[in-house]
Structure 1
Amino acid sequence: MKKLLAFAAVAGISMAAVAAPETYVIDSSHTASRFEYNHLGFSNQLSRFDSTTGKIVLDRAAKTGSVDVVIDAKSVNTGFALFNGHIQGEDFLDTAKYPTITYQSSKLNFVGDKLASVDGNLTIKGVTKPVTLTVTSFHCAPHPMMKKDACGANAVAKIKRTEFNAGKYAPNVGDDVTLSFAVESLKE
């Protein structure tokens, strides 16, 4: 009986080690944070932020973890320097006062072994609102070039920019904004 208990204790410890949370650092060179909105009914405009950093903690066995992301709002890239400055102005992102956009998760939701969505809080211009990211793809595997474990995902969410005090010209310039994220991260 003592041998069985000792085996169970050792097995429990080794299982705990296998199920330990793993921390991944966002690879900024392979991560894109984008936003899309309708412009005067003529077209949907797609822009991005060139600098996204953060960490992702995953415990795939326990199906838990966290996501903490920081977007440099001054890195907005519309493709035109003049328009970048316009988006950074007080009417929209007000990057002089609010230089970052943040997302902090409150819960990761799995379907089977796949991450399906992330509940969390998005902060833009000092306004924090709950936002759920729908994960459209999720993959973890050894990175073939970096020789480290890596995880990647694509996720989308919809917000109303007026709810974040960035509603200049709404509704002519669309209030509905689609956020999309392509994220790659490397294990610490």
Structure 2
Amino acid sequence: MKKHLIAAAFATLIASPAFAATETYNIDPSHTFPRFSYDHMGMSKQILRFNKTSGTVQLDKEAKTAAVDITVDMKSIDTGFELFDEHIQGEDFLDTGKFPTATFKSTNVVFEGDKPVSIDGDLTIKGITKPVTLTITSFVNMPHPMLNKDAIGANATAVIKRTEFNAGKFAPGVGDEVTLDIALEAVKQ
């Protein structure tokens, strides 16, 4: 009987790595910046960013599944010009007085081999939720060079229409299509 218990325990230890658990990674707010760009009256492509982002990424490397849950502080908009920051936060655009955050919650992550290549999810801006697909342009999972913890890094992009989120003042003169470009780093809990 004792030999059977030892054999069963040994078999469990050997089989355990095949059942890897989902790991949670916390967003590194000092290296995660959602940016967006749009056409400004045919004169230039404007590029703005948000300075405060929080959330998690859950990754199961063996099962090749993942989930993303991100919150962006819309009051952290950074245009490079304080008066324009205030203008963008107004009711005609982000309306940060009523809607101080935006969120993205994944509904599906598509993998090719060991790497995610796209993320379907729900983007909520100004209380309006729309499905969005982020295309992942780069993805790395490795030990963080300075923290000695497992970490991930990624870049992703998508195009949305600001009129669909009730932020369309001056469209189409000021471009309705907005390109989202997200740089993300996250460290395992």
1:125-172 deviation digits (Å, cap 9, x = unpaired): 000000000000000101111111110000000000000000000000
- 1:20 aligns to 2:21 (yes or no): yes
Tell me the distance in 2 between the aligned counterparts of 1:13 and 1:178: 43
Look up the match of 2:130.
129
Task: State the Cα distance separating 1:10 from its structure 2 match.
Answer: 4.2
Unmatched tracts of structure 1, length 5 or more: none
Query: Any conservation in 1 of the 2:23–2:60 contact (CA below 8 Å)?
Result: yes
Unmatched tracts of structure 2, length 5 or more: none
Look up the match of 2:114.
113
Give me the identity figure in percent. 59
Equivalent pairs, count: 184
Tell me the distance in 2 between the aligned counterparts of 1:109 and 1:173: 33
1:3-43 deviation digits (Å, cap 9, x = unpaired): 9x836544333421xx2111000000011110000000001
Look up the match of 2:37.
36
SS at match of 2:83: helix
Amino acid at match of 1:180: D
After TM superposition, the score normalised by the length of structure 2 is 0.94
After TM superposition, the score normalised by the length of structure 1 is 0.94
Tell me the distance in 2 between the aligned counterparts of 1:13 and 1:143: 25
Tell me the distance in 1 between the aligned counterparts of 2:145 and 2:38: 36
CA RMSD of aligned residues (A): 1.3
Matches within 5 A, 1:89-104: 89-104=90-105
Tell me the distance in 1 between the aligned counterparts of 2:165 and 2:51: 21
**Alignment equivalent of 1:11, drawn from 6, 9, 14:** 14
Tell me the distance in 2 between the aligned counterparts of 1:171 and 1:8: 65
